[in-house]
Amino acid sequence: MGLLSLRRCRRTGTGGEHMTKGIELRVALVTGATGGLGSAIARQLAAAGCRVVVHCGHDLTRTESVIASCIAAGSDAVAVAGDLVDDDACRRIATEAAAAWGRIDVLVNNAAITRFIPHADLEALDSATFRRIMDVNLMGPFQMTRAAAPWLRAHAAGSVVNISSTAALAGTGSSIAYSASKAALNNLTLTMARALAPAVRVNAVVPGYIANDWLLKGVGAERFAALTAAQTAATPLQHAATPDDVAEVAVWVALSARHLTGELVRVDGGHHLGTGSVVVPNERRAD
């Protein structure tokens, strides 16, 4: 399945007035762009002045909605579909994405899958499920980065942002396979940052808990509410992240952090710090 009609979708009017000087010609390809976080990243990239290539699944209604949000943000967008596990499909996606505006400046590897399987239930995680999660969450980003590399290198200012998870840092998350796949993605970020330097920056955004529809559907409304309340209470900022919170950081890393590469940028509201207060003793040590 290739580009969905590969039609350039423009807002009416003169367009482009909002665009930040210096990035108005950038083209960003976002995988998994029809999900909650992916759509937020696509929309914010469009608002920042990027033309956006929306990698989508089979939900045409959702795809059109994301494209419309990019147009409403003031930019252009097209949609492309393809299986990221298939290397030939990844190369086609990159080629067709580049054909839309003649370049690719930013690649956001956001697409990912999981299964909600208790870590202690080892027998519930069969090898086929483990491999499928690794294929999508690790091989997909590698193959897409490799496929897009010629265009990312072309202007000596390319940027790759891998969307990871704090599950990789703590050995937590929806399943052992998911946690392992994101840990491997973190390492891929470091190795690709070396491999593609100096022309391309490669970083990972590492979000913690995100209160989004994907999780709501995965765990159900009652558990979702309990998890969100618990995460809010356990975070110094007393806030459960939204997709827009994480997208804001991803867009900054993609477009603005010129001297940042090989970094794992944690976005968890300080959850890793805990909520305990620091006790400062009254006594002063005599020198």
Q: Give the whole-angstrom CA distance, residue 205 versus residue 122.
A: 29
| Cα Rg of the chain, angstroms | 20
Q: What is the DSSP string of 35-84?
A: SHHHHHHHHHHHHTT-EEEEEE-S-HHHHHHHHHHHHHTTS-EEEEE--T
Question: Considering 130, 142, 151, 178, which one is annotated as catalytic?
Answer: 178
* Banded pLDDT at 3 (limits 50, 70, 90): low
Condensed to tens digits (0 to 9), the pLDDT of residues 4-42 reads 544 444 443 333 344 444 455 799 999 999 999 999 999
Superfamily the domain 27-118+125-263 falls into: NAD(P)-binding Rossmann-like Domain (3.40.50.720)
Using a cut of 0.85, tell me whether the model's pTM lies above it.
yes
Quick: pLDDT tens for 207-237.
998 888 878 887 889 988 998 898 888 889 9
Q: Which of 152, 150, 169 is nearest to 161 (CA)?
A: 152
Q: Is 9 exposed, middle or buried (0-12, 13-18, 19+ CB in 10 A)?
A: middle
User: How far apart are the C-alpha atoms of 186 and 162, rounded to whole Å?
Assistant: 8
Separation of CA 85 from chain center: 17
The domain locations on the chain are: 27-118+125-263
By mean pLDDT, which of 2-16, 149-163, 171-185 is the weakest? Answer: 2-16
What confidence tens digit (pLDDT) does each residue in 135-151 have? 999 999 999 999 999 99
CB 109 within 8 A of CB 188: no
pLDDT > 90 fraction of the chain, expressed in percent and rounded = 72
Asked if 178 is an active-site residue, the reply is yes
**Residue 51, token pair as written in the block:** 């033309």
